[in-house]
Structure 1
Amino acid sequence: MNLRILLVLHGLVTAAAGVVLIVAPGLIPAAVGVRVPADAYLVCYLLAAAELAVGYLSFAARDLRQREATRLVVWTLIVFHACTAGVEVYAFTRGVHPGIWANVAVRLAVIALFVHYGLKERT
C-alpha cells in the first residue's frame, strides 16, 4: 500500500458514510444504540456534509506532488479522526453504547496508517 491507495480507500469509505447518513440518517447512530428521531436528522445531514467534504479531500489529494500540500492534507485527516475519536470517547462517558469503542479503534488505526504512509514515508 502507499499513500495514494490509502487516500482513495479513505475517500471511498468516508464518502459512503456520508451517503448513508443522508439516505438512512439513523442507521449509523443505531449501530451504537443511539436513536435519532426524524426531527433531529439535520444533525446527521450536517455530519454527512462533513464526511462528504473529507472524502472529497482524500480523492483530490491522491495526485498531489507538493510535499507541503500532501502533509497538510494528511495532518488534516489525522486531526479529523483524532477529534472524532475523542468525541466518541466523550460520548461513551455520557452513556453511549460500548460498541462505540469499535469505531474509536478503527479511527486510531486510520490515524496510524496516515502517520505511516503520509508522514513517515514522505519525510
Structure 2
Amino acid sequence: MLLTMTKKTAKPAAKKTAAKAAPAAAKAAPTASNKVAKTQLVEMVADKTGLTKKQSEEAVSAMLDAVVSSIKGGQSVGLPGLGTLSVKDTAARTGVRPGTSEKIQIPAGKKVAFKVASTLKGNL
C-alpha cells in the first residue's frame, strides 16, 4: 500500500516538472531555429562588409528581387558555391482527392527546382 502511494505521488510531480519545462523549451525554440531570417542575413552582410544595416538591407533586398524576377521570367539563376535555381515545367496528370477518393485532373504548371552545387554538397 505504501508503494502505490509513492507511485501516485511521484506521477503528479513528474507531470508538474514536465509542464514547467515545456514553456521554457517553447521560449528557447524560436532562438534555436534552423532557419536564417532576412534580418539575420542583413546583419551577417553588415558584419562581413562593413556596410550599415540599412545599406545591407538594401543590398540583400535588391539581390532577392533580382533572383525572383529572373525566376519569374523563366531564367535560371546560378549562385556560385550554393547552387542553381531553375524553372521546370510539370505535366498534366490525374490525381486523387484525399477526402473523397475522387479522381481529379491536375493541370500542367511550373515549379522552381534547386540543384545544389557540388562544392557545397561535398562540404556538408
TM-score by length of 2: 0.30
Query: Which one has the largest radius of gyration?
Result: 2
Structure with higher strand content: 2
TM-score by length of 1: 0.30
Structure with higher helix content: 1
